[in-house]
Amino acid sequence: MRWRVRCALGVCLIGFAEGTCAHAWDLVRGGIHAYAFAPAALQVFFVALVVLDPLVVVLVARARPAGITLAGAVMAADVTANWIADWPLLRDDPGWLWRPVGLLPITLFGLFVLATMQPLRRALTTTRQPATPPRAPAAHP
């Protein structure tokens, strides 16, 4: 596997491991209502990330193409959910976007995951393809 692919996978692993810890910590501190600031559907999604994020970590660590697909889906949903939940804060104070923890890093990481999704899937798919045995030459009568 090429070093660029390994680096991109490493960034994904670090990001999703951090997400796992952040969501688990939120639940430890705030319980099931840790995300009460968000609409009910988003609260359920944010809690579900405690399962989805580590699942992505396991699949990406095993270099499974499905892990990259799941990573893209999770980040697309996560970025969208965070923008919806944080929009009132951002509308009232646009400088809030530039906080080092919150919407900006989630958005940047989401863009990274989505931008690298197809190249990573392609790299992992070609890496995992079984070698085809050589064909025997055709017999001529």
**Tens-place pLDDT, residues 68-89:** 999 999 999 999 999 999 999 8
Domain boundaries, the chain: 3-127
The length of the chain is: 141
pTM, two decimal places: 0.84
Residue 132 pLDDT: 57
Amino acid 104 reads L
Lowest mean pLDDT, pick from 16-25, 39-48, 83-92 = 83-92
Cα 98 to Cα 90: distance, rounded to the nearest angstrom: 10
